[in-house]
Structure 1
């Protein structure tokens, strides 16, 4: 069913679609960062700590301001709709759980504990997004007298003016001029080299298509300058590589490690 079916006004239908895409972006970026932390946790404390710090910074900058803005703008209106009070109370409870998990991730004594907290954070947030996109936003869009587009404008304004919502982390590095260059790997064409064996791997084959690109973008933001990650895809990700280059001109070098038939493996190096 389309967003237009649910919305009581065309601008609310457009706002609903945009909000769903925004939540998908946050969920995807969270998933990418969590995946890199999980793969790094068993390969050395130092690498895992960098990914943990980046994940916490992302939550402080994106996830937590978003949940706070929901409570201030969307939920007071949603609570007044018929039969939604318990739903809203449950979502507020999930916000408290998310905040607690971010704090646990921040103070975890070991990378193994941090990895477990990160995975729990991802699961809870994805469940939260499913309820937000599948229940709250459609109900608000369809409610007579409620303008979802205006509510979302207020939400984004509040996020933009939240003290925690700082600029991009310096750990993300600076963009460099130049183009993305794809290189062929020498030798057997697989990821059997010692260099690739120690790098975090992001396998997107089991990730829902709607979240796939956002997951890769989030993972790449977590890769420090001078480091790399290995991407595993079900096909040659040429459109994705074009989007990466458009977002960050010249920032990542690409080397194909395997070209099918069941998987494409690429090494993306942060210059």
Structure 2
């Protein structure tokens, strides 16, 4: 069944799809931040502070303002519908738990505590988004007396912030953009062709996206890269040569990351992304 058949108006069907895509983008960004933090905690706990700071900043800049704007618009409209009142109140409670987890993550005294808080935050947010998409957004889209498109427009106006990763062409659906030049980036070192690894990876966190759903993969990488400080690096493990992704990374942050191939297949491509 298409989204159009679940909406009372064509513009609401379009708004529903856009809202679900934006949620998927946020989920991917968080997964990238959390993945980088977890790998840092496992490989070298001394390197956790950077990913932890990046995840907290993402939540304060994007996640929590988004949640507050939802309460003022989408939740307020849904609460007026008798069948949705209890659901909305429960979701508001989840917003409070998300904020509490961000506070706990900010003040975590040990790397293992930060890792636990980050993973709990990710799981709760992913479950929360499923409820919003399947219950709140779909309910509002079907309601004849409600304009989901107008509500979402009001919500984004209230958020009043930018999302840096939205500038990446093709990030909305997780696929490469054919309008972007997919030329292979210049490499340094042996690129892993000789099997030596091509670079000193000690202490560099690794993000393996081979098990990440395709629709979330690019957003996950962008979220992780946002947590890499200048002078730092990240190893990306992909199931194929990620040329479209590399073009998007260059498009959203020209010249910010140097790329070095450490391994070229056949089952995995490993790339070192160094932040200038």
Same fold (TM over 0.5): yes
Relative distance call for 1:125 and 1:147 in structure 2 (3 A) is same
Q: CA RMSD in A?
A: 1.9
Of 233, 237, 257, the match for 1:232: 237
* Alignment correspondent of 1:151: 151
CA positional deviation for 1:236: 1.1
The answer to whether the aligner puts 1:185 opposite 2:191 as a matched pair is yes
SS in 2 for 1:235: coil
Query: Are 1:180 and 1:249, in contact at CA under 8 Å, matched by a contact in 2?
Result: no
CA displacement, residues 10-40 of structure 1 (integer Å, 9 cap, x when unaligned): 1111111111111111111111011111111
TM-score normalised to the size of structure 2?
0.87
Matched, 1:207 2:212: yes
Q: Which runs of 5+ in 2 are unaligned?
A: 165-183
Q: Is the 8 A contact 2:231 2:275 kept in 1?
A: yes
- Aligned counterparts, 1:28-107, within 5 A: 28-107=28-107
SS in 2 for 1:84: helix
Work out whether residues 190 and 258 of structure 1, in 8 Å CA contact, stay in contact via their aligned partners in 2. no
Residue 114 of structure 1 pairs with residue 120 of structure 2: no
User: Alpha-carbon deviation of 1:77?
Assistant: 1.0
SS at match of 1:199: coil
Distance apart, 1:217 and its partner CA: 0.5
8 Å CA contact retained: 1:185, 1:256: yes
C-alpha distance in structure 2 between counterparts of 1:155 and 1:224, whole Å? 31
Contact (CA 8 Å) 1:67, 1:95: kept in 2 or not? yes
Q: Is the Cα–Cα contact under 8 Å of residues 141 and 147 in structure 2 kept in the other structure?
A: yes
Question: Tell me, what secondary structure is at the counterpart of 1:205?
Answer: coil
Deviation, structure 1 residue 80 = 2.3
Determine the C-alpha separation between the residues in 1 that align with 2:129 and 2:274: 31
What's the CA shift for 1:81? 2.4
Task: Measure the CA separation in 2 of the matches of 1:44 and 1:166.
Answer: 32
- Per the TM alignment, residue 145 of structure 1 is displaced from its structure 2 partner at its CA by 1.1
CA distance in 1, matches of 2:133, 2:187: 37
**CA–CA distance in structure 2, aligned partners of residues 218 and 167 of structure 1:** 11
What's the offset of the Cα at 1:218? 0.6
Matched residue, 1:196: 201
Query: Scaled by the length of structure 1, what TM-score is found?
Result: 0.89
The Cα of 1:54 is off from its aligned counterpart by: 1.3
List gaps (5 residues or longer) in structure 1: 169-178
Contact map agreement 2:195 2:263 (CA 8 A) in 1 = yes
Distance 1:182 1:147, change over 3 A: farther
**Structure 1 Cα separation of the partners of residues 87 and 193 of structure 2:** 57
| CA distance in 1: counterparts of 2:185 and 2:240, whole angstroms | 19
Q: Which string of whole-angstrom CA distances, capped at 9 and with x for unpartnered residues, describes residues 53-81 of structure 1?
A: 11111111111111111111111111222
Which residue matches 1:176? none
Q: Secondary structure of 1:33's match?
A: helix
